Amino acid sequence: MKALILVGGYGTRLRPLTLSVPKPLVEFCNKPILMHQVEALVKAGVTHVILAVSYMSELLEREMRVQEERLGIRISLSHEKEPLGTAGPLALARELLNVDNEPFFVLNSDVICDFPFKDLLQFHHNHGKEGTIVVTRVEEPSKYGVVVFETDSGRIHRFVEKPQVFVSNKINAGMYIFNPSMLSRIQLRPTSIEKEIFPVMAQEGHLYAMELQGFWMDIGQPKDFLTGMCMYLQSVRQHAPERLRTGPGFLGNVLVDPTAQIGENCTIGPNVTIGAGVVVEDGVRIKRCTVLKGARVRSHSWLESCIVGWSSSVGQWVRMENVTVLGEDVIVNDELYLNGANVLPHKSINESVPEPRIIM
C-alpha cells in the first residue's frame, strides 16, 4: 500500500523551530512529527510513502534514506515547483500512486492523533466507493468547515464552511483514503481538495466519513503543539503507561528520554516531554513544556507552556511562560523573565521579555 503525506512548505507557523529543522523532523513527544505518521502507516501495511514537498531539504532527504532502511519501506519525495494546493500534489504523484488498483492514504502532515489507518482501510472497503475522509468532533464548529453526513452509513451530504447555525460538529481531520480512480478528478494545477474535489465527490455519492475515536490536534503552531502534546501523553498514559516516567519529583504524564539527566529536588510535570541528552539541573520546576534534544535548564528555573529548542540553555532562576519558544541554540541568561517570547535561533537573551514578542 501507498500513502501520500502533504508536507508542503517551510512550516512558517512553527517558527522559530522550523528555521533550523524541516517541520516533519521537529520532534513531537521525542519523535519527529512525520515519523508518528509514517510508523502508523507502516503498521497498517503501507510500504511506500510519498512526501509531497514544496521545498527541497537535504536534511529531510538524508533522514528519509535512514528511515527507509530502518522501516524497510520506500520513501519518495515528490517536489512541486510551484504551490499546487492540497489536491495538486496528488496529480503530481499520479504515477507513483496509480501503479496498481489498491487504495492509497493521503494525510496532512500537521495532524496528530491515534492514527486509525487499519480501521479506515476496513471502513473504506466496506462502503466500496471512491473515497473516505476521517472526521473529528470539535466544540466550536462555527470556526471550521464542517462535514454533514449520514450517521449510520457515513455517506457525506455536503460541506459547510464556518456554519452560523449548527449543522454538524464534525470537521475534516486531514486524513483520507482514495481509490486510484479518484486521481482522474484532479488536474496538475493549484487545486484545493477540500473546496474543489470533495464537494463533487460527495454530490456523486462517492465520499464517506469515518469518525475518529480519541484525540486529534493540528500541531502546526506552537500553542497547539503543546496542547497536542498534552493529549498525546494522556493517550500514552492509557495505552502504554510504562513509557511515562513516574516517581518522586514527577507529576502526571511526563515523557523523559533515557539519556536525559534530571537533577535533585526538581518537580517535573504534568505534561512534559524531555528530549535526548537534555540536562535539567537541581531545583527546576517544569510543567506543560517540551524540552528538545541537547538543551540545558539550569537550577531553580521555572518553566510553563514553553518549547525549549535544541541545544538551548536556560539560565538559573529564569521564569519562562505563556508559549515562549526558544529556537535552536538560544541562551537565556540567569534570572530573566520571558513571557510569550519567540526567540530566533542562536540568540543570547540578556534582558527580560515581559510581554509577548519576537526576538530577532
Partner 1 sequence: MLKAVILIGGPQKGTRFRPLSFEVPKPLFPVAGVPMLQHHIEACAKVPNMKEILLIGFYQPNEELTRFLLNAQQEFKISIRYLQEYAALGTGGGIYHFRDQIVSGSPEAFFVLNADVCSAFPLTEMLSFQKEHGEPNSFVILGTTSNRKQSMNYGCIVENEETNEVLHYVEKPSTFVSDIINCGIYLFNPDIFQHIGAIFQKNQQDMLLEEPTNGWHRAEAIRLEQDIFTALAGQGKLFVYKTLGFWSQIKSAGSAIYASRLYLNQYHISHPERLASNEEGGPKISGNVYVHPTAQIDPTATLGPNVSIGTGVTIGAGVRVRESIILHGATLQDHCCVLNSIVGWDSTIGKWARVEGTPSDPNPNDPYAKIDSETLFREGKLTPSITILGCNVTIPSEVIILNSIVLPHKDLNRSFKNQIIL
Contact between 354 and partner 1 per CB under 8 A: yes
One-letter amino acid identity for 118?
A: K
Binder of partner 1 out of 282, 348, 357, 358 (CB under 8 A):
282
Cell triple for 341? 517570547
Binder of partner 1 out of 319, 331, 346, 359 (CB under 8 A):
319
Q: Residue 156: which of 197, 107, 87, 210 has the closest Cα? A: 210
Which region, judged by CB under 8 A, interacts with partner 1, from 60-68, 158-166, 169-177, 278-286?
Answer: 278-286
What residues contact 1, with CB distance under 8 A and at least 6 apart?
A: 44, 45, 46, 47, 48, 102, 103, 104, 105, 121
320: exposed, middle or buried (C-beta count within 10 Å: 0-12, 13-18, 19+)?
Answer: buried
Which CB sits closer to partner 1, 24 or 269? 269
Angle (CA) 157-159-162 rounded to 5° is: 145
H helix intervals, the chain: 33-43, 58-71, 88-92, 94-97, 117-127, 198-203, 222-239
Which region, judged by CB under 8 A, interacts with partner 1, from 46-54, 58-66, 315-323, 341-349?
Answer: 315-323
Binder of partner 1 out of 31, 39, 98, 317 (CB under 8 A):
317
Looking at the DSSP bridge assignments, the partners of residue 161 are 145
Which region, judged by CB under 8 A, interacts with partner 1, from 2-10, 35-43, 250-258, 277-285?
Answer: 277-285
Which region, judged by CB under 8 A, interacts with partner 1, from 129-137, 150-158, 214-222, 280-288?
Answer: 280-288
Contact between 356 and partner 1 per CB under 8 A: no
Give me Rg for the CA atoms of the chain: 21
Closest approach, Cβ 282 to partner 1, in A, equals 7
Among positions 283-302, residues that touch partner 1 (CB under 8 A) are 283, 285, 299-300, 302
One-letter amino acid identity for 91?
A: A
Which CB sits closer to partner 1, 196 or 334? 334
Contact between 102 and partner 1 per CB under 8 A: no
List 43, 118, 143, 162, catalytic entry: 162
Closest approach, Cβ 344 to partner 1, in A, equals 24
Closest approach, Cβ 265 to partner 1, in A, equals 7
Active site (annotated) includes residue 162? yes
Contact between 335 and partner 1 per CB under 8 A: yes
What 3-state class would DSSP assign to 88? helix
Which CB sits closer to partner 1, 14 or 336? 336
Measured CA to CA in angstroms, residue 216 lies from 150, 170, 242, 306, 346 at distances of 22, 12, 22, 21, 33
Positions that interact with partner 1 (CB under 8 A):
265, 282-283, 285, 299-300, 302, 304, 316-317, 319, 321, 335, 337, 354
Supply the residues annotated as catalytic. 162
